[in-house]
């Protein structure tokens, strides 16, 4: 299952291609307190994956970007 997340820029910024660890942390924080948080240390199969933010271009305040998050745990996506 997948979810499309809409993001709104709060300020002008540049696209940072090194954002992956921060975004992964935001997703895990959103799962805190749920049964899926226990999957955090399981390295056998990733609990979720996510796309790059798109569209890729300079970001101005108020711009909209998107991220796709996917998981083989349908309930995890429902929690998000």
Pairing verdict, β 2-8 and 64-70: antiparallel
Answer yes or no: 40 catalytic: yes
> Among the options 20, 40, 72, 73, which is catalytic?
40
Catalytic residues: 40
């Amino acid at each position: 299952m997948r979810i499309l997340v809409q993001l709104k820029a709060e300020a002008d910024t540049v696209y940072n291609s090194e954002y992956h660890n921060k975004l992964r942390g935001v997703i895990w924080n959103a799962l805190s307190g749920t049964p899926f948080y226990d999957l955090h240390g399981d390295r056998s199969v990733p609990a979720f994956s996510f796309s790059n933010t798109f569209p890729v271009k300079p970001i101005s305040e108020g711009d909209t970007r998107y991220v796709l998050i996917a998981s083989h745990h349908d309930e995890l996506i429902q929690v998000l």
